[in-house]
Structure 1
C-alpha cells in the first residue's frame, strides 16, 4: 500500500536550516565538533517507534480520500488502507481526520512503505478468540459453505475445515444437503500462525447423545410402558427410539407364538409403537423391550378357556402334507393331523381344504410346555367302527366290491370307507393253484362276516360256504373268549390242503 514520504522541498528546508545552524555555531563551537548530517538522520530514524510485522497497531487518521484512508502509525512513512475496509453494511465510511483506529501491520513493501489492513485486525482478533476457545475446550458456531476433497469448508468468521468423518455419527447419504446449514462445532486443531482450524460436529453430537442416554436411562424402569418410533428393522428384531436412547425388541418378544416371517413384513421403519421395558442396562446403555408383554400370555388361560373336548371354529392358517393349522385365539394355532380328519379313509389335506377356510374341530390335547394344541375333525362325529359289531354280526351276509388284491387276500369295500379282508384261506378254490386268479379289482362279490375288530379297525370276511368256513367261525369264538389260537391263517390253509389230499390218497406211504 502506498504511503506519504517527506517531499524534496521539506528535505531542502531541513538541510538549509541545518546548514545555517552549523554556520551560526561555528564560532561558538570552533573548539568542539557539532553533530553531523548522518548523526542527525540517525537520531531522526530513532524517533519513530519500532513496528514488527504481524502486529496490530493504533494509528491516527490524517487524510480521507474517496477510496482510501491515510493513517499515521508513528512510523516514518504514513500508510494507507482501502476505504472499503472501514465501510459498514451499507458501504458508508464513518471516519474523520483525527480518529484513532487499529490496523494490522503486515510488513513493508519494496519501497519501505507500511502494508496495513483493517480486515486483518478483525481476523487477528478472531484468531485470538478462537485460540482461547480451543484452550478452554469450547465451541463455535458456523455455516457449512462448500464441499472439498475429504470434507467441507465452514465459515466460523474465518474458513475452517470440517472432515467428512466429523460431520455426523453416520456417513452423510447426501452431503450436498448440508451446504448452507448452520451448526455448532468443536475445534479439534488450531494453528494461529498457519491460520489452520479443523473442527468437528460429530463429537458434539456424540456428547449430546451420551447425555441424552444417561438421562433416558435414569427415567426408564423395568415394567414401564412407553411410546417410541421404529428406527431400524433387522432379522432379529426392532430398534426403537425412546427419546434419547434406542432399545431393542427381540423377535422372540414380538409375539407369544413363534414369528415365522421377517419382522419387516409386520412393521415399517418410522412406525410409532408402544412397548414394555423388560430390562435396563445402565452401564452398557442397553434397553430390552417387548411387545407381546403388553397383553396376557394366551397360553396361561388356554386350557381354562378351552378344555379338552371343546369344539372350536377357526380359520385354516396353513395346509401341509401332514395336516391343517387352525387358528384358535390370536397367536395360537392348533394342528389337525391328517389321521384325525376322517375315521374311515386316509385324507390328503390339500385335496379337501384351503387356507382361509373356516372349519370346526375338537380340542384333543394341550401341551403347555411346548406350546402345542392337537385338534381333530373326525372326532366331531361318532366313530363308525364302534357301531360295526352290532351292524355286522358274525355270519351276516354282505355285498361289496373288490378294491384291492394283495398277495394274502382281497380287500372288499362293504360300505363307503369300510373295507374288510378276505384272507386266502377264506377264498374258494378255483381251477388254478392261486385262488386270487379268479378275482379282479372292481368285481362285485357276496361275502359273510367272520368277525369285526373295532380296536384294530379290521373286518374279517369269507367267500367260502358256511360249512367250509366253520373253522374260521370257531377261531372267532376263541378270539372273543380271550383264547389265542396257535394256528395262523397260513397254517389252517396248509392243514386244509393236507386233509383234502388225504381224502384223495388213502395210503400216503404207498408213494
Structure 2
C-alpha cells in the first residue's frame, strides 16, 4: 500500500539533493587504510568496493601470483586510499601501500612492546648489514654479536631474531640489534648459572677462548678459567694441544669467588691423581715402555701412562756416543724402552735412562784393553791439553800432551797429530766410573832418560844445538839425540830491555853450558850467561899464561946479556 503525496512536502533543489546524496557514503580520508570487498576480477585489475560512490581499481601486479589465484569475488581486502578522486574522478586504491602500512603498524607495536622479530640478512653494506623484516632495516656491525664478527659475508642469507632499537616511519628508517637479545639471553643464563653454581660440582661448558696460560669456558652467561695446570695430571705444553674454540667440555668447579665473580675450573680433578702410587708402580731399576711426547734441548719426555711422564736426559740416551740433541736418537711418537733411575713423587718427576737397557761397553773395557796394551786408533779431535783417539764406537782415549814426547816440549798436540790421522798408543790408565781411558804416545819407545841422556849430558858441559822454540820465559834448544834443553830468560845474558825474540831466531845455532840435568823432571837446564863467563875466564887465564911465559923469556934474555957484558970486560 503506497502513501499518497499530499502535495505539501518541501521541495529540494538540485544542490541539496547532491549534498544529501554525498552524506549517504562513508566518511573516508585519503592516506588511511579501510576494508573493501572484491566485486570484479579482470586480467590486469582487481575492482574493490569500499562503500564509496565509485569502485576503486587496484593493478594486478600489486598481488602475488598465488594471491591472485586464491582471490574471489566477495573476498574482503585491506586497501590504502591514495585519492578519493583523481583528475578523472576515479577512486585510487593500493593494496601494496596497505600491506606496508600494516607492517609499519606491527613494527611500531613490536618496538613499543620491546618484542623481537625475525629478520633475514640480505646484503652487506657500509657499517653493517641490510636486513629484511618486512621492510628494509639496518643492522649495525656493533649490534650483530657479542664479539666482533670477522666473516660478515658468511651471514648473508641467514635469519636471526632481532630487536628494533630505533624506528622512524616518516623517514622509513628502522635500526635493529641482535646483540641486545644475546645480552638479555646471556644475562638470564648468568643469573640461572650463578644461582646454582657450587664448588665441587660438575658443569657443562663451551671453550670460548684459548690463551697461553689456559682456556676460558662459557658456563652459560659467565666464563670460568681452566688453567693449564688443571687440564691434565701430565705435562701440557699449550692449551691448544687439548682444546679448540667451540669444544664442549665437562669441568669441575674448583673455586667460586662471589665477590669478584671469578670461577676456577679443573679437568684433571675428574679423575684420581695417577702420581699417588707412582713410587710403588715404578720402582727404581724397573724397565718400562712409553711413548715420546715431546723433545727439549736437554732430553725427551716419555709418557708411561696418561698423566705420568718421565724424562730421559740426553746424557742417559746412549753409552756409545755423545748425544747433543735428543732428536738425533728419538722422534715424537716413538715407542721406547727405558729403565727407571729415580722417582720423586713430591716433585712429580721420574728420571729414566735408555742406555741402561743395553750393555755398558765400559764394563768390559778392562778386559778388552788391559793396561800396557798397544792399540791403534784414529784422532777424533785435538784440544789444548791433548788428543782424543777413537778406539771403537763410544770408546775414546786421551793422549795427554805430557805423554806425547820424552824429550821435546810440546806446546800443542797439532805439532804431532792431525785430525783423522791413524796413530798407535799404549793404554796407561782406566777409570771405569768416570769412563776415562788414558793413552800414551811416548811410551811406545824406551825412556831415554833412564840411562842414555844422563850418560851423554853432564853438568858444566858446553853443548851446541838449534833454537826450536822461543817462549816468554826462555829459549828451547834442540840438542843431539832430539832432547831439548831450556835456557831460562834469567840465564840468557840479555842486556837491559833486550827481548828474547829479538836476539834469538828459530834454527839459530846456540852454544850454552849445562847447569842442571834433572832425571826425575826430565829436564836439562842451560845457561848462556855462565857459558859466556866461562869463556871470558878462559881468555883471561890464557892471557895471564901467555904473559908469564913472555916475562920468563925476557928475563932469561936479560940475564944472558949481562953475562955476556961481564965476560967482555
TM-score range, shorter chain: 0.5 to 0.7
- Tell me what 1:358 maps to: 336
- Tell me what 2:375 maps to: 400
- Tell me what 1:92 maps to: 72
Deviation at 1:213, TM superposition (A): 3.4
- Tell me what 2:271 maps to: 295
- Tell me what 2:251 maps to: 275
Shift in CA distance, 445/51, structure 1 to aligned 2, threshold 3 Å: closer
- Tell me what 2:202 maps to: 225
Deviation at 1:92, TM superposition (A): 1.1
| 2:55 alignment partner, SS class | strand
Deviation at 1:220, TM superposition (A): 4.0
Distance 2:290 2:109 in 1: 75
Shift in CA distance, 123/79, structure 1 to aligned 2, threshold 3 Å: farther
1:68 to 2:47 alignment:
yes
- Tell me what 2:552 maps to: none
Distance 1:111 1:500 in 2: 139
- Tell me what 1:496 maps to: 519
Distance 2:294 2:161 in 1: 57
Distance 2:258 2:212 in 1: 25
Checking the alignment, whether the CA contact within 8 Å between 2:302 and 2:311 is kept in structure 1 is: yes
- Tell me what 1:3 maps to: none
Checking the alignment, whether the CA contact within 8 Å between 2:398 and 2:437 is kept in structure 1 is: yes
In the TM superposition, 1:20-99 aligns within 5 A as 52-55=29-32, 68-70=47-49, 72=51, 78-82=53-57, 90-94=70-74
Distance 1:196 1:452 in 2: 93
1:152 to 2:97 alignment:
no
| 1:260 alignment partner, SS class | coil
Q: Deviations over 1:72-128 (max 9, x none)?
A: 55xxxx242238899997211327xxx9x9976545435595846484667656655
- Tell me what 2:154 maps to: 174
In the TM superposition, 1:79-478 aligns within 5 A as 79-82=54-57, 90-94=70-74, 105-109=81-85, 113=89, 115=91, 117=93, 119=95, 127-128=104-105, 130-139=107-116, 141-142=117-118, 144=120, 146-147=122-123, 149=125, 151-156=129-134, 159-163=135-139, 165=141, 166=143, 169=146, 170=149, 172-178=152-158, 181=159, 184-193=161-170, 196-228=173-205, 238=215, 249-260=226-237, 263=240, 266-267=242-243, 271-280=247-256, 288-317=264-293, 322-341=298-317, 346=322, 353-355=329-331, 356=334, 358-364=336-342, 366=344, 368-369=346-347, 372-377=349-354, 397-401=372-376, 417=395, 419=397, 424=402, 428-429=406-407, 442-445=422-425, 457=436, 463=443
TM-score, normalisation: structure 1: 0.59
Checking the alignment, whether the CA contact within 8 Å between 1:452 and 1:460 is kept in structure 2 is: no
Distance 2:199 2:346 in 1: 27
| 2:70 alignment partner, SS class | coil
After superposition, the CA RMSD in angstroms is: 5.9
Deviation at 1:297, TM superposition (A): 4.1
Q: Deviations over 1:23-72 (max 9, x none)?
A: xxxxxxxxxxxx9x89969986996897654456789x9x9566534555
Shift in CA distance, 79/115, structure 1 to aligned 2, threshold 3 Å: same
Distance 2:177 2:410 in 1: 98
Distance 2:308 2:144 in 1: 49
Shift in CA distance, 42/397, structure 1 to aligned 2, threshold 3 Å: closer
| 1:400 alignment partner, SS class | strand
Shift in CA distance, 79/319, structure 1 to aligned 2, threshold 3 Å: closer
| 1:177 alignment partner, SS class | coil
Residue ranges of structure 1 left out of the alignment (5+ in a row)? 1-16, 23-34, 470-489
Residue ranges of structure 2 left out of the alignment (5+ in a row)? 1-6, 451-485, 487-515, 536-569
Deviation at 1:221, TM superposition (A): 3.3
Deviation at 1:390, TM superposition (A): 11
Deviation at 1:279, TM superposition (A): 4.5
| 2:157 alignment partner, SS class | helix
| 1:222 alignment partner, SS class | coil
- Tell me what 1:28 maps to: none
Q: Deviations over 1:372-398 (max 9, x none)?
A: 4433455668988899999999xx644
| 1:174 alignment partner, SS class | helix
Checking the alignment, whether the CA contact within 8 Å between 2:341 and 2:350 is kept in structure 1 is: yes
Distance 1:185 1:438 in 2: 90
Higher mean alpha-carbon deviation, 408-417 vs 313-322, is at 408-417
